Every structure is written in structure tokens, then in C-alpha cells.
């Protein structure tokens, strides 16, 4: 008995997006001559095919694209395209994947503003194009992300330019933050640090104070770079914003009233000073030799970790007065050089490199002159 051959599964092999006169074009390319069937339309929210859960898509509107008889991975399960990415176009700003399962690929396009769109199909190779109108007033503004490759001692904040609707600049800027850096910007080292947040709600500006509530989650305490490091400088560039108050998803912030900035506890950095002791320096190379890191809390307590270091220094415990005396002894022999600096986990390195003295350490613990240098992240 003859059997009917299974229909071929088209593979998504490329995703492109570009601005053209009068429209933003988003293109899916396949490894087949003709494009497979697809349904394209606005949806209130994007739902994951497998999980049934809402997939956060940055923007003011979502176009869902569902492709039948297609897949976005090879025979080994390796993705053939990136389904989560950002675009620096006037309207099409983000792509989020919602499924690549049993011959169905689902994704959502995040738009800066809900506008009309048209769908086109092309052959040789098979392509599906979605053209979205960008016909609304907009201004190019700066959005801040983290540069994971920032040199030691420099700021990890980097601003990129994005078009933002004039009708709601604060909301538009926040949308661009959560869309993230483009693929090219990521290749250059830029990253979006979400701190567990998936979006925002209730953005508003009144009396020079911008307020917003994070959604999804919040878990950035103790990190050297959080979502606040993107939000604060980005919104502060608006002329009508002097102070910014960011709220926890549950609604709390440190200073809900008053003309001052405010963060929820989940984004506040616990200030402490790192002391880095280096032995056997070779020229200007501060990374050469044995080392000990002392994490100094605001109260003066010291905890230590070390490597290739004498065992009696490996587990330093106590106050700065005793630690300072011991370091002073070592310093007199020229064996150790204490340094105050900041550990940046996202960069995997230290920044600051400020020499300190034993006297400074003892004064710090006694409530006198504090150490010079940045807090640890």
C-alpha cells in the first residue's frame, strides 16, 4: 500500500529588520523556494505555545507571527536564528520567541506604537515580510545599557540612540530599555541587566518626579550594575524629570515621598570598601603577586578571601584597627601594598585602584576619615 510523503518542514535561516521610506520591514527567510503558511495579527499579549504563560514583549503593541510547517532549529536542536532580539527602528523595536515546537514557530513583534501593517510573501528563497508604518512624530533619544567590556576604572554605562514617540517619551524610553541592545550592540559588549524585572507599569511624571513600578521580579541588591543604572540616567535626560522613584513589583520604594531619588531594597547596593593587598609587584602590574581581598562593611567589620597567600592572612576576621596594625607591619617591610577598589562582577575585574594607608584603615573603623575609593558592588 502506498503511503503519502510527509510535507517538508521549512527552516527559518535568517531574520532581518530595516527601515525603508514609509515603513519598517521585518523579514523571515526560509530554506525553501516558497514560504510556508503564516498567520499575522495584533494580539493583546503573546502566549508561549508550550508553557501557556505570557511572554513579555516590550512595546505598546504586539504583532504575533505564527508559521505552520516550519522550525527555527536544525536536526540537532541548535537554533538557526535568534528569536529574542532588539531593533533600533522607528516602530519595530523587539522580537520575542514564543514557541518552536512540532513544526510551528511562534513569535511576537513589539512596536513602539500600534500602527497599520501589511504582510508580503516572496519566493526563491521563501520569505515572509511584515511592513509596519512608522508615521508618528518621534525624537531620537539616548538609552543607557551596560558595557561588560568597560576598562577598569571607567564607567560601565554606555548610551545608544533610539527613536522614541513624542506622545509618551518616558514610556517610550522604558520600552527601549527593556527591548535591550541590538545584536550588533551585544557583539560590541553591551548588555541589558534586568535585575529580574520583565517590564514596568504605571509610568508617570508629576512635579519633576518620574515614578514607575517594576514588573516580574526584582533581585539586584548587592550587584554593581542593576536595571536602575539603565533607568536613572535614561529618564534623567528628559527635561521635565529631576528625580526618579523606582518601585518594587509589590509597590515599595525607600523614599515614596519627597523630592529625591528612590529605589526599592532589591536594587540598593550595600556600601562597603574593598581593600586589596598585593605582594611582589612587578612594575605597574597590580595583578601580579599574591593577594588578599578585605570586604569592609559600613560598620567596620572585615571579612577576607585570598589566593596564593600566607595562611594566616587567608581568613582575616576582626575590626580595621587590628587589620590595620597587621598591614602596617607588613607595609614597613615593603612586602604589601594595600589598595582600595571596587569589585565589578559583571566585568569580572576590579576598578578604582586607590592606594590607602594603615592610618586610613584605623581611622575608618574609629569613625574618622573614611577610605577613599568606591563602594564594592
Nearest alpha-carbon partner for 363 in 328, 324, 333, 332: 324
**Three-state DSSP state, 162:** strand
CA 254/CA 264 separation, integer angstroms: 6
pLDDT score at 50? 85
pLDDT score at 96? 97
pLDDT digits (tens, 9 = 90+) for 41-62: 999 999 998 888 999 999 999 9
> Read out DSSP for 67-102?
EESEESB-TTS-BSS-SSEE--SSSEEEEEEEEEET
Could you tell me the pLDDT band of residue 220, with boundaries at 50, 70 and 90? confident
CATH 2.60.40.3500 intervals, the chain: 10-132
pLDDT score at 303? 43
Burial class of residue 25, CB neighbours in 10 A (0-12, 13-18, 19+):
middle
Query: Per-residue pLDDT for 354 more than 70?
Result: no
Nearest alpha-carbon partner for 172 in 70, 254, 58: 58
Those residues whose C-beta lies under 8 Å from the C-beta of residue 181, and which sit 6 or more positions away, are: 86, 145, 160, 190, 191, 192
pLDDT score at 133? 98
pLDDT score at 154? 54
Given a contact cutoff of 8 angstroms between Cβ atoms, the answer to whether 12 and 81 are in contact is yes
- CA distances, 309 to each of 193, 276, 279, 303 (Å): 34, 12, 9, 15
CA 182/CA 280 separation, integer angstroms: 44
- CA distances, 342 to each of 152, 175, 294, 295, 297 (Å): 10, 31, 11, 10, 13
pLDDT digits (tens, 9 = 90+) for 150-170: 764 456 889 999 999 999 999
Q: Which residue has the higher pLDDT, 100 or 149?
A: 100
pLDDT score at 157? 87
Q: For the domain 10-132, what is the CATH code?
A: 2.60.40.3500
Whose grid coordinates read 524610553? 173
Mean pLDDT score, 198-227: 90
pLDDT score at 49? 87
pLDDT digits (tens, 9 = 90+) for 284-334: 433 333 344 454 444 444 444 333 222 222 222 222 333 444 443 343 334
Mean pLDDT score, 177-199: 95
User: Helices (DSSP H) in the chain: which residue ranges?
Assistant: 169-179, 183-187, 228-236, 311-314, 320-332, 358-365
pLDDT score at 330? 40
pLDDT digits (tens, 9 = 90+) for 64-88: 999 999 999 998 999 999 999 999 9
For all residues of the chain together, what is the average pLDDT?
A: 77
Kind plus residue range of the DSSP H or E element containing 14:
strand 10-20
Query: Per-residue pLDDT for 147 more than 60?
Result: yes
Given a contact cutoff of 8 angstroms between Cβ atoms, the answer to whether 246 and 210 are in contact is no
pLDDT score at 149? 80
What's the grid cell of residue 15?
531574520
Amino acid at each position: 500500500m502506498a503511503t503519502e510523503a510527509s510535507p517538508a518542514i521549512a527552516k527559518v535561516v535568517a531574520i532581518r529588520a530595516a527601515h525603508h521610506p514609509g515603513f519598517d520591514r521585518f523579514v523571515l527567510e526560509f530554506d525553501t523556494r516558497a514560504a510556508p503558511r503564516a498567520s499575522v495579527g495584533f494580539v493583546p499579549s503573546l502566549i508561549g505555545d508550550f508553557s501557556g504563560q505570557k511572554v513579555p514583549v516590550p512595546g505598546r503593541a504586539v504583532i504575533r507571527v505564527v508559521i505552520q510547517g516550519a522550525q527555527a532549529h536544525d536536526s540537532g536542536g541548535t537554533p538557526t536564528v535568534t528569536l529574542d532580539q532588539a531593533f533600533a527602528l522607528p516602530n519595530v523595536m523587539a522580537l520575542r520567541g514564543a514557541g518552536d515546537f512540532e513544526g510551528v514557530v511562534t513569535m511576537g513583534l513589539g512596536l513602539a506604537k500600534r500602527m497599520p501593517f501589511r504582510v508580503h510573501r516572496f519566493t526563491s528563497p521563501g520569505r515572509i515580510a511584515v511592513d509596519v508604518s512608522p508615521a508618528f512624530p518621534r525624537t531620537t533619544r539616548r538609552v543607557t545599557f551596560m558595557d561588560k567590556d568597560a576598562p577598569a576604572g571607567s564607567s560601565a554605562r554606555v548610551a545608544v540612540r533610539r527613536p522614541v514617540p513624542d506622545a509618551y517619551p518616558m514610556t517610550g524610553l522604558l520600552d527601549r530599555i527593556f527591548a535591550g541592545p541590538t545584536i550588533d550592540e551585544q557583539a560590541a559588549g553591551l548588555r541589558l541587566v534586568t535585575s529580574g524585572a520583565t517590564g514596568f507599569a504605571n509610568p508617570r511624571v508629576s512635579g519633576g518626579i518620574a515614578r514607575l513600578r517594576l514588573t516580574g521580579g526584582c533581585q539586584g541588591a548587592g550587584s554593581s550594575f542593576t536595571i536602575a543604572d539603565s533607568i536613572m540616567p535614561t529618564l534623567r535626560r528628559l527635561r521635565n524629570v529631576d528625580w526618579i522613584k523606582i518601585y518594587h513589583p509589590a509597590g515599595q520604594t525607600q523614599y515614596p515621598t519627597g523630592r529625591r531619588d528612590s529605589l526599592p531594597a532589591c536594587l540598593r547596593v550595600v556600601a562597603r570598601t574593598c581593600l586589596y593587598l598585593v605582594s611582589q609587584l612587578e612594575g605597574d602590574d597590580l595583578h601580579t603577586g599574591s593577594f588578599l581581598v578585605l570586604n569592609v562593611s559600613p560598620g567596620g567589620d572585615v571579612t577576607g578571601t585570598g589566593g596564593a597567600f600566607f595562611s594566616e592572612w587567608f581568613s582575616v576576621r576582626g575590626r580595621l584597627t587590628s587589620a590595620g596594625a597587621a598591614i602596617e607591619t607588613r607595609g614597613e617591610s615593603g612586602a604589601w601594598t594595600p589598595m582600595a577598589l571596587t569589585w565589578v562582577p559583571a566585568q569580572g575585574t576590579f576598578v578604582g585602584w586607590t592606594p590607602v594607608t594603615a592610618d586610613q584603615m584605623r581611622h575608618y573603623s574609629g569613625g574618622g576619615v573614611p577610605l577613599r575609593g568606591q563602594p564594592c558592588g
